[in-house]
Amino acid sequence: MVGEAKAGDRRIGHVVVVGGGSAGWMAAAALANGLGLGRQGGAGGATRVTLVESEEIGIVGVGEATIPPIRVFNQQLGLDEAAFVAATQGSFKLGIQFVNWGWQGNSYFHPFGTYGTDFDAVPIHHWWVAAHAAGEAPALDEHSMAWGLAKAGRFLPPTRDPRLVQSTHDYAYHFDAALYGRFLRAHAEAQGVQRIEGRVVSAVQAGETGHVREVVLSDGRAIAGDLFIDCSGFRALLIGETLGTGFEDWSNWLPCDRAIAVPTVNSADFTPYTRSTAHRAGWQWRIPLQHRTGNGHVFSSAFMSEDEAREILLAHVDGKPLAEPRLLKFKAGRRTQSWSGNVVAIGLAAGFLEPLESTSIHLIQTGITRLLALFPDRDFAPHAIAEYNRTTQTEWERIRDFLILHYHLNRRTDGELWKHCAGYQVPDNLANRIAQFASHGRMVSDGYELFQNPSWLAVHVGQGNIPQSPDPLVAHRSFVPGPKRLEQLRSAITSVAAEAPTHADWIARHCKAAPESFAA
């Protein structure tokens, strides 16, 4: 192992990150911060973090949309938001608009934040269900501050005053993934991370433990380490090729296995949200950045050819293409173990879930956060590794089920993919959640998960799973002026949105990218 530790010193001496991109540099930056590299009183010279990447190897780089927890990750690293947004050609995201998912002509918004605040012991959405059934309430979207801003093309960060409706929304970012990696690289190297240019071609295992001892580069150089972070993408060079960790295939529930991506010139529609539009055998993303718009068509090759998918994508973009469309192949699923021996897989090496709810970068973030919470010494305690794998599995499965919900709750009749998804048997836990909501609007869960009640509510209602009746308690609380409170909420949202700056104006004032970076 690297560095002869003093007697009794079991600290990890060298962490080697294999692969760059967003996953590699997010891992390197967070490890530098968590281990206190270069800080007085930190690990200092006792621990090193090295990242190995090759300019010859491209990155997937299509994951340009995020969800609110990315703000916590950036804040923990001490990144300045305005500088980060400007450096990555970023924009702001208040949620995701879903078009044609439930049926042709259907549209709804998955907001970041809540639908107002509860004004009674009975949750607010039950009052909406009751009012909607009586014809006394418009669409659920109209009760979201995030949608109030988004549909007007406006943006405003939430306030901390819980008495105000503008405290009920949240936000994330759209950004150029390659530029984010570059931004984090500068930050990580300033903290003491060493970067080595080179292409890793193989790994050598220690005979007595089976742990990875060193990685070998194409020019013959060998880099030894104590802990290896596999950020090698779909290849999964360490966790898969070297250690032989299995892969759990979820394509029976999430059959899309291809994506065609193309950047286009920006249009006048500079939306502070992502748009997902369903097509005959998949869906299309639209992500507006400062210097371009990101577009892609995710589809199932079992139900559509690559040529047809390409034609559909190019027919539905709203700007001139800036490059040739690029094909990506993938399979939904996860490694049966994300941590094996002294290797932790982060990002695509750990698995893949299509970017329907912008969870790719989030899963990188939580994988790193979980590693720091269970950071090993040279003994690599089995119970810590088991806990990492248990919680990782739970997180991935719960996100998987949320994605399945979108596909399963469809009433489209124009494509075999949609008929297949509407008819298949979903995981038992998800089936129970769908039934509970369909009956009385109840949202149940067996523990903490990324997507909370407002997210599930948005998809259930947005795709037509309207409860047969609200919670029975509503009938016992006729003294509560539910419809009036909902009307007051809608009025407050409209007033705030009307006064907020446009998305473009907010960026121009606070985080406009330098003109020279537009060519990056």
Report the SS3 class of residue 31: helix
Query: CA neighbours within 13 Å on the CB side: how many for 327?
Result: 13
**Alpha helices (runs of H) in 160-289, residue ranges in sequence order:** 177-190
| 3-state SS track over 146-182 | HHHHHHCCECCCCCCCCCCHHHCECCEEECCHHHHHH
Q: In whole angstroms, give the CA distance from residue 364 to residue 26.
A: 8
Contact (Cβ atoms closer than 8 angstroms) between residue 22 and residue 63: yes
What are the backbone angles phi and psi of residue 483, rounded to the nearest 5°?
A: -60, -40
Neighbours of 10 (CB within 10 A): 10
Candidates 6, 93, 331, 484; catalytic one: 93
Tokens of 358: 């912008």
For the chain, give the number of residues. Answer: 520
Tokens (6 digits) for 73: 């990750």
Tokens of 402: 């949320």
Strand partners, 326: 261
3-class secondary-structure state, position 477: coil
Instruction: Find the angle CA(82)-CA(88)-CA(93) to the nearest 5 degrees.
Output: 70
Spatial separation of the C-alpha atoms in residues 81 and 87, rounded to whole Å: 10
Beta bridge partners of 277: 99, 284
Q: Locate the DSSP E strands across 122-272.
A: 172-174, 194-197, 200-205, 212-217, 222-224, 227-230, 247-249, 258-264
Q: Does 320 qualify as catalytic in the annotation?
A: no
Residue with tokens 């390409």: 310
What are the C-alpha distances in Å from 168 to residues 29, 116, 146, 511? Answer: 31, 6, 8, 23
- Which residue from 119, 244, 113, 215 is spatially nearest to 167, judged by alpha carbons? 113
475: burial class by Cβ within 10 Å (0-12, 13-18, 19+)?
Answer: exposed
**Residue positions annotated with a catalytic role:** 93
